[in-house]
Amino acid sequence: MSLVIAAAYFILPLLAVVGKKGSIKEVLVIVLTAAGYLVMPLSCIWFGDEMGGYIGALPGPAINKPTPGCLVKLGGWFLLFLPAIILLFSFVS
């Protein structure tokens, strides 16, 4: 299901650009932007248990305890739907 939603993040903007006869550069920008954004949510959804088990130092504060995989997956779903939520609220207000 997450892959279908991720595909929509590629297809819908591409249809808008192709419909207005956009250039290859615009298409490339859309594809790279969508791919760059989708790396983290899809990683959290697909590999939540593995990512949640990480304990160690990052460039910020250290992670002392493992995070439950279900919470990592829930965060991934939230990040996946975040652009749609922002778009919805921008049209409502």
DSSP secondary-structure letter at 54? -
What pLDDT score does 93 carry?
Answer: 67
- Cα–Cα dist 46/3, whole Å: 10
What pLDDT score does 30 carry?
Answer: 86
Phi, psi of 22 (to 5 degrees): -75, 165
What pLDDT score does 54 carry?
Answer: 84
Tokens of residue 25, six digits:
């550069």
CB–CB of 66/53 below 8 Å?
yes
CB–CB of 9/83 below 8 Å?
yes
pLDDT, mean of residues 73-90: 94
- Coil/strand/helix, residue 79: helix
pLDDT in tens, 16-74: 887 777 788 888 888 899 999 999 999 999 999 999 988 887 777 778 889 999 999 99
